[in-house]
Amino acid sequence: MPIPLQSLNTLGLAAWTDELVRVTGSTQLPAISQAIANKDRFILGGGSNLVLQSNQDAPLALVCLQSSLKGIVRLPAREGFSRLRCASGENWHDFVMWTLAHGLGGLENLALIPGTVGAAPIQNIGAYGVEVGERIEAVHAWDFERHDHVVFPTESCQFGYRHSLFKEISFQGPWNRPRFFITAVDFALAPATKTQPILSYKGITQRLAELGVTEPPLPMQVAHAVISLRKEKLPDPNEIGNVGSFFKNPVVSEEFAKALASQNPGLPVFHQNNQTKLSAGWLIESAGMKGVQRGEAAVSADHALVLTNLGAATARDVLGLAHEIQEAVMARFGLWLEPEPQIIPPI
């Protein structure tokens, strides 16, 4: 019997798989690894960055593996930093709040991002001027090729904008044979009282002022500002299906950004980690696509970067709308937007 995945992806697409295996202990991995050695597989986290294409008559012909590994362990402190090992099946936001409640700073700008801890390094989740790779010490994984545990120090993970080595086909393998199953992630976090708040995103300082925070904010206060901003801007996937930003902000050369900005006054240009990025949301809105609806899929009327499932959207509705957006932005600005979520199977 095909196994339904509709409640396991935040876009709420009706999708099915042949088999679902929940990994509850890392000691199970050697046996699972042997059992599925010659089978196609896919690793599912919280399903908040996926567009799943399948139906009941043609389910994904593979084994879906999901981490239910739990637990947060303290490692010996080093050079003033507390070190934590968090299992991959923990909920990301709950982990962030746990660190803050235990007097640790560094993850506050990443509060309320949906999904699991194990998926966080995959696209190097980022928000409000912080990327998770900046706080990661090491990534622990099971290697399906060598049938063994491996550890990747942060320097080897090649973290970049919405990118890590785990997104490289040459490293992680094709979409239906991922080589590494992340089991845990190690973080190095400073005490909250010694954490330098990252307030470069102007909305945060304004929201902190509105919340009555006048002193330099503590990490927990920054998290509350971020949570309140996110609740205001992004649709809650529990209420309306979505995967957050559907497209990455295009990374362009400084010259290209300047030329485009001179022709398009108001175009937001960001500089972060020596990269120049344009606002994909602004490009989509300016290409006239904000609020557009196709079938049961729509571009959010509040946030042009978010595609929503109005109730009964199919993957075809969502991907058709995404393609229309790409063409509209290409025609208007000469840029092809790259989707952020993983499309399974790829198109």
Ligand X SMILES: Cc1cc2nc3c(=O)[nH]c(=O)nc-3n(C[C@H](O)[C@H](O)[C@H](O)COP(=O)(O)OP(=O)(O)OC[C@H]3O[C@@H](n4cnc5c(N)ncnc54)[C@H](O)[C@@H]3O)c2cc1C
Q: Hey, which residues are catalytic here?
A: 162, 245, 340
Residue entry with tokens 């009327």: 301
* CA-based nearest residue to 276, from 259, 248, 255: 255
SS3 288: coil
**Nearby residues of 119 by Cβ (< 8 Å), 6 or more positions away:** 45, 46, 48, 49, 88, 92, 125, 182
Chain-centroid distance, C-alpha 152: 20
Measured CA to CA, the distance from residue 126 to residue 110 in angstroms comes to 7
113 versus 260: smaller Cβ distance to ligand X: 113
126 versus 217: smaller Cβ distance to ligand X: 126
Neighbours of 336 (CB within 10 A): 11
Neighbours of 32 (CB within 10 A): 17
Min dist. Cβ of residue 124 to ligand X (A):
7
Cα distances from 178 to residues 36, 114, 181, 328, in angstroms, run 12, 22, 8, 33
**Nearby residues of 158 by Cβ (< 8 Å), 6 or more positions away:** 164, 165, 168
* CA-based nearest residue to 226, from 213, 239, 240: 213
Long-range contacts of 300-304 (CB under 8 A, 24+ apart): 300/235, 300/242, 302/233, 302/235, 303/233, 303/234, 303/235
Whether 32 contacts 23, CB under 8 Å: yes
SS3 264: coil
Neighbours of 128 (CB within 10 A): 19
User: Which residues contact ligand X by CB under 6 A?
Assistant: 10, 43-50, 67, 88, 113-116, 118-120, 122-123, 125-127, 181-182, 234, 237, 242-244, 342
* φ and ψ at residue 226, rounded to 5 degrees: -60, -45
225 versus 260: smaller Cβ distance to ligand X: 225
